[in-house]
Amino acid sequence: MDLQLTGKTALVTGASRGIGLATVTALLAEGVRVVAAARTITPELRATGARGVAVDLTTADGPARLVDRALAELGGLDLLVNNVGGGDADANWTGGFLDVTDQQWSDAFDVNFFASVRTARAALPHLTEARGAIVNVSSTSARTPHAGPIAYSTAKAALTAFGKALAEEVGPRGVRVNTVSPGPVRTAMWESPDGYGAQLAASLGVPHAQLLDGLPGTAGMVTGRLVDPGEVAALVVYLGSPLAASMTGADHIIDGNSVKAV
């Protein structure tokens, strides 16, 4: 299927691994010119051929500087993929509400919410000119807050609401805004030896590998496996394409049917 993206331009945040890296790869395969942003430009990201930009999007001026750099590299902007998110690997997210400090709340919102808000703000005039699109990567934790760390889930819920509200405002100007909410994905958050999955396994007293093997069943995923980053990337790229011209303001779940509510 031709997604009619050849020659278009895109900015992808959180691009060094996982969903972000898969999205960069998928966009490049469709003929899109991509600026890929991450705190660290990994060898895997460099190997894609995308224009890598090292930036910390949790700083107040990082998003604006990134958009300026993307415009200088690309000459315009058709698609923004706000994928940056996650949490500090050094933080212990397995405790309850009373264990979460003010700093952890602030950090969670900086990376999972404000980074996307600020990047969208900086990019919007250029996306309006191009009649482009924004795709925000949230999480099913926004719909099932008990399923993840409370600060992370709350920040993702804010991101999902932001996408819906922004779509209403900018739709008449020709800009589409959609949200993609994956369930558990084979990313560092779950698979890294110092990530949330490993912390959760340790708190439950089970081996990390055992937790990952049982996670699809525990999460109610009828597919019996975690979501692959490439599957999420394919949905993101489609939503950013002209083929999805009437799709805006929606939260698209890709979770193996773990969210049971209508």
Look at the block and give the residue holding tokens 């000459």.
75
Interatomic CA distance for residues 178 and 247, integer angstroms: 7
The torsion defined by the Cα of 146, 152, 156 and 158, in degrees rounded to 10, comes to 100
Look at the block and give the residue holding tokens 């698209």.
252
User: In this structure, how many other beta carbons lie within 10 angstroms of the beta carbon of residue 59?
Assistant: 13
Is residue 85 a contact partner of residue 156, using CB atoms and an 8 Å limit? yes
Structure tokens at 58: 């949790």
Cα 256–chain centre separation: 18
User: In this structure, how many other beta carbons lie within 10 angstroms of the beta carbon of residue 9?
Assistant: 22
Interatomic CA distance for residues 179 and 235, integer angstroms: 10
**Is 152 marked active-site?**
yes
Interatomic CA distance for residues 102 and 113, integer angstroms: 16
Q: Given 109, 152, 162, 238, which residue is catalytic? A: 152
Q: Report, as residue numbers or ranges, the catalytic residues.
A: 152
